[in-house]
Structure 1
Amino acid sequence: MNDLVAFLWEMLALGVLAWWGWSAVGPVWLKAVAAVGVPGAAATLWGLFAAPKARFKVPMVAVLAVKALVFGAATLALAGLGHGTWAVVFGGVAAVNTALVTVFRRSASYAR
């Protein structure tokens, strides 16, 4: 169940980053670039370092740093869009779920 929540929260983070990018000040082409580029960069970073089947195996501290960066950016984006309460909820769920998933995955790897 925690893995499902983690996946949904990751997708929600990308959606929030796209929304924030589209809300950028400037011409439509700049909004489109930000709406695609910001979540694209976040997804690339996640896929390279934080995904369960990441391209590069890095220490857990680096995985958690990438997750904190992506979820933190989405939390700040929500706050910047004027949704402070949702930002607190989003950030809180992201933090708790990330902690639970990390603990469960580590305990599962030690059980082998």
Structure 2
Amino acid sequence: MRIANLGLRFLLELCALTALAYGGWLAGGPHLWQRVLLAVLAPLAAALIWGRWVAPRSDRKLADPLRLIPEWVVFGAATAVLVLAGHPVLGGVLAVLAAANRFALWRLQSDTDGRAIG
């Protein structure tokens, strides 16, 4: 069960980055270079936040429950992008699955890198 939840977690992270790239593309402006720039910078910003404070191998990984802050900044931004882009169902699915997955990992007493906690 832990492996399945960790796999889902990774898939949800990729979905969040994809949603942010999509949002960057839509918000990019009239010129192609602006769209490309924002489609790259939005997920890059999220990846930097994730890599610094959430990623399993980060040397600055936050402990629970503080780690929820950057997690929900990334997933919340991705959800907001999907809702604002006219895809409220996708945004809702992403938010619900991310929250359910985090809860399941907590109940399984598993860190987000698969190590047992507690």
TM-score by length of structure 1 reads 0.89
Partner of residue 91, structure 1: 95
Give 5+ residue unaligned stretches, structure 2: none
Partners in 2 of 1:23 and 1:54 — Cα distance?
31
Which structure carries more helix by proportion? 1
Question: Over residues 22-81 of structure 1, what are the superposed CA-to-partner deviations in whole Å (9 max), with x where a residue is unaligned?
Answer: 111512221111100010010111011111212303231221111100000000011011
CA contact (8 A) 2:54 2:71 kept: yes
> Could you tell me how far 1:18 is from its partner in structure 2?
0.3
Residue 7 of structure 2 corresponds to residue 4 of structure 1 = yes
CA contact (8 A) 2:82 2:91 kept: yes
Give 5+ residue unaligned stretches, structure 1: none
Partner of residue 105, structure 1: 110
DSSP-derived class of the 1:109 partner:
coil
Q: Which amino acid aligns with 2:59?
A: R
DSSP-derived class of the 1:102 partner:
helix
Partner of residue 75, structure 1: 79
1:62 to 66, 70, 92: 66
Identity of aligned residues (%): 35
DSSP-derived class of the 1:62 partner:
coil
CA contact (8 A) 2:28 2:36 kept: no
Partners in 1 of 2:52 and 2:82 — Cα distance?
25
CA contact (8 A) 1:19 1:35 kept: yes
Q: CA RMSD in A?
A: 1.6
CA contact (8 A) 2:76 2:95 kept: yes
CA contact (8 A) 1:49 1:62 kept: no
Q: How many pairs were matched up?
A: 110
CA contact (8 A) 2:25 2:38 kept: yes
